A = this chain, B = another copy of it.
């Protein structure tokens, strides 16, 4: 969770504007995939040299350039140069510890988002996705290869899809929508876990449960940090004055906005539930403990007076008439039974047992 901050600090001290990749070193090469389409035709190319992107600079078609892997700084720099991106955009793309945000520049809109996913071992990870929306192009930057944008590719290939007749802004919307939709998967799995822990707390409060609660809380903090700012990002896009976004696309952005609010709402619900969990756990655990202690103490309390009576008759005084009495022994046992009975009745009356 503090990873972002640690890495970020490596950059502190460098002049503002220095292009340094701040993130995990990815193994694979940086790859560039281009999909260039109009309503009638579509071209899909893997560009090997960033310089070749210049061909897509001033076309009438809609161009989607997807850059995967950020560690080859030169590629990013070249791309930025070709499309005239502001140095601060390039800096933010490379710094993968950004907070989701939306920034308008003179001729482009820059959007940073966090993709969230579950690893196989149940850990939540995030990946920074940057989008640059220009007049006729969208450039997306991913940290790692992944299939998150595959559904969008599929749909672009279908000539019937709405996006084919719309501009780059609708493409950008489709990409954002895909990312927000992913949140639902994560939230769903998270919901299952929170339910599981919540049930466990009542059924079988166990010291290990505390660990689970703590983990849930920490992941919630992590998720909130990624999702909350999306609210501003998307409402910023929707209400932006920029001519890059058409009225029609704004309606769709309003829809993504609603989804984001729904995700946030659910996260807050989980937060409310998680907040009460430790209290419930403590109550449950203390209830169980109290039950144990009460029964044990009652047993001890009944036998201590009995032991005392036995102790009295075990004294070695020479003149103890009871000891010589023929029925002394059974009488003493009866006395003990009587004392035990009286105590039991008293505890019962008090509703302690």
In the complex this chain forms, how many copies of it are found? 5
Which residues of chain B come closer than 8 Å to A4, judged between CB atoms?
A: 262, 266
Interface pair A317/B323, CB less than 8 Å apart: yes
Q: Which of A58-66, A132-140, A301-309 contacts B (4 or more CB under 8 A)?
A: A301-309
Q: Is the CB of B276 within 8 A of A217?
A: yes
Bound-complex Cα distance A301 to B294 (A) = 11
Is A218 among interface residues, defined by CB-CB distance under 8 A?
yes
Chain A residues numbered 84-130 whose CB sits less than 8 Å from any CB in chain B: 86, 88, 91-92, 97-99, 101, 103, 105
Q: Indicate whether A242 reaches chain B with its CB closer than 8 angstroms.
A: no
Contacts A210-B283, A310-B311, A313-B316 given; does A12 touch B185 at CB 8 Å? yes
* Known contacts A15-B155, A188-B9, A313-B316, A210 near B251 by CB under 8 Å: no
Whether B299 pairs with A5 at a CB distance below 8 angstroms is no
The reply to whether B305 and A299 form a contact with Cβ atoms under 8 Å apart is yes
Stretch from A23-31, A33-41, A49-57, A176-184 that touches the partner: A176-184
Which B residues are in CB contact (< 8 Å) with A298? 296
Task: Check B265 against A225 for contact (C-beta < 8 Å).
Answer: yes
A202 & B210 in contact (Cβ 8 Å cutoff): yes
Is A241 positioned at the interface, with any CB of B under 8 Å from its CB? no
Q: Which of B97, B266, B281, B333 contacts A312 (CB 8 A)?
A: B333
A195: CB under 8 A from chain B? yes
A178 to B15, CA, bound (A): 9
**Residue A254 CB within 8 A of the other chain:** yes
A45 at the interface (CB under 8 A from B): no
B contact residues around A17 at 8 Å (CB): 162
Give the Cβ gap from A218 to chain B, nearest Cβ, in Å: 7
Q: Nearest CB to that of A9 among chain B residues? A: B184
Which residues from B are CB-within-8-Å of A207? Answer: 284, 287, 291
Q: From residue A258, how far is it (CB to closest CB) to chain B in Å?
A: 6
- B287 lies within 8 A of A103 (CB): no
A48 sits at the interface (CB 8 A): no
Q: Are A315 and B300 in contact (CB under 8 A)?
A: no
The interface residues of chain B lying within 8 Å CB-to-CB of A297 are: 292-293, 296-297
Q: How far is the CA of A11 from the CA of B148 in the complex (A)?
A: 15
7 contacts between A and B (CB under 8 A): A2-B191, A11-B181, A16-B174, A282-B286, A313-B317, A314-B316, A318-B323
Q: A221-B273, A278-B280 are known contacts; what are 7 more A-B pairs with Cβ within 8 Å?
A: A15-B162, A99-B265, A202-B210, A281-B283, A289-B290, A293-B294, A306-B308
* Nearest 8 CB-CB pairings of A with B: A310-B311, A2-B191, A12-B181, A313-B315, A9-B184, A317-B329, A314-B314, A296-B301
